[in-house]
Amino acid sequence: MSIKMTAPSHTPVLLKETIEALAVQAGGRYIDGTVGGGGHAAAILERSTPGGQLLGIDADPEAIKVAKDRLETYSDSTLLINENFVNLRAICIKYNFFPVHGILFDLGLSSLQLNGNGRGFSFQHDAPLDMRLSPSQEVTAADIINTIPETKLARLIKTYGEESRSHKIAHYIVKERPIKTTLHLTQAIEKAIGTKRGRIHPATKTFQALRIAVNHELEYLEAVLKQALSLLGFEGRLVVISYHSLEDRIVKQFMQQEARDCICPPSMPTCVCRHKASLRLITKKVVTPSPDEVQLNPRSRSAKLRAAERITAPDQQYNTFKKPSFSVGTNAQGWRRSASVEKLGGFSRPYRLILFEPTNRRGKM
């Protein structure tokens, strides 16, 4: 394998466990929904050669540049898309990339984003309070910190940061407004709850809460898990690595629910939901990094991996996919022409545009 390394690079977490859980096979088709520095993606591509294909998605345009560099060797079998994974299903339909053998989400941030790249994700580096994964998002952390009422801010810090001292922190933040930098925010938090360093820095939970709020992390995770399930082929694998308990709870509940036949409340005498299991749990217990890995890569310490396998045929889902059919341009008579796409199966050119000749004034066949 000759993967071009870029420095500083992100060390993929639970790499061996991820590749095993995905059951990566030669010729397989995979999605890395959080391609980041391309570490996991490179290993997936290496294992799926010959014939493997990878769709890599990241909301951060900088991450896509790094991944492109790192995965250069596999450029013929890789498609990198700078998009939020909440649009996964639409992306896969657009590129005709389904069903797939495996989907990976390695949530959170990469070392490249945390290592003080001026985006305000970390309290360890002074930077403008931004925290957006993509510059196309409208709301920054500074917008939230400086505009929302104190009670709402306290609730946000409590809910998304699981911070028990949220009221005190929110009170001090409001007193210090306007707050425009990570350093100023950290100082306000320290004024509120002290500088005592326990196991974690006093600003950790508030920064987590803001990042979750700015990037809609929990809502988007819930939404994408459902989409991911519908894109898996029979025996396709879904693997998720999360880094805090709020994310892990969503992943755990989703996988457990989809692995059950009936999801009626226990008080129901008979099943009315008609829910059928579509997943089998691969990881009965959550997988965490070994002490050796944590020592080598301290950022891995909070990682939790869960994996499941699709046990149903995906036909229902595919039937519900709308074939992309649309109208394009105009014909010689000035009427718009309806168009459809035909699956070619190739990767660099996955589909062919078919233009229909209009047979009536509306341009319909």
Ligand X SMILES: C[S@@+](CC[C@H](N)C(=O)[O-])C[C@H]1O[C@@H](n2cnc3c(N)ncnc32)[C@H](O)[C@@H]1O
- Contacts to ligand X by CB under 6 A: 10, 12, 34, 36-40, 57-60, 63, 84-86, 106, 108-110, 133, 220
CB of 74: closest distance to ligand X in angstroms? 14
Residue with structure tokens 């010959």?
50
**Which residue's CB is nearer to ligand X, number 12 or number 52?**
12
CB of 42: closest distance to ligand X in angstroms? 8
Residues 6+ apart with CB under 8 A from 266: none
Q: What is the DSSP string of 123-176?
A: TTS--BS---SSTT-S--HHHHHHHS-HHHHHHHHHHHH--TTHHHHHHHHHHH
Q: What is the DSSP string of 205-244?
A: HHHHHHHHHHHTHHHHHHHHHHHHHHHEEEEEEEEEEESS
Query: Distance between CA atoms of 98 and 344, rounded to whole angstroms?
Result: 13
For residue 16, report the phi and psi dihedrals to the nearest 5 degrees.
-60, -45
Is 156 within 8 Å of 145 (Cβ atoms)? Answer: no
Determine the Cα angle at 224 with ends 83 and 18, to 5°.
90
Q: Which of 106, 28, 126 is nearest to 63 (CA)?
A: 106
- Please enumerate, as own/partner, the contacts of 112-119 that have beta carbons within 8 Å and a separation of 24 or more: 112/8, 112/9, 112/10, 112/36, 112/37, 112/62, 112/63, 112/66, 113/60, 113/62, 113/63, 114/299, 115/8, 117/62
CB of 67: closest distance to ligand X in angstroms? 7
**Which residue's CB is nearer to ligand X, number 45 or number 109?**
109
**Which residue's CB is nearer to ligand X, number 57 or number 282?**
57
Q: Which amino acid is at 22?
A: L
**Which residue's CB is nearer to ligand X, number 106 or number 309?**
106
End-to-end, the C-alpha distance of the chain in Å comes to 51
CB of 62: closest distance to ligand X in angstroms? 8
Query: Distance between CA atoms of 172 and 151, rounded to whole angstroms?
Result: 12
CB of 325: closest distance to ligand X in angstroms? 27
CB of 313: closest distance to ligand X in angstroms? 28
**Which residue's CB is nearer to ligand X, number 86 or number 251?**
86
CB of 363: closest distance to ligand X in angstroms? 37
**Which residue's CB is nearer to ligand X, number 92 or number 174?**
92
**Which residue's CB is nearer to ligand X, number 3 or number 192?**
3
CB of 341: closest distance to ligand X in angstroms? 25
**Which residue's CB is nearer to ligand X, number 40 or number 165?**
40
**Which residue's CB is nearer to ligand X, number 34 or number 48?**
34
CB of 145: closest distance to ligand X in angstroms? 21
**Would the CA dihedral through 36, 42, 48, 51 be positive or negative?**
positive
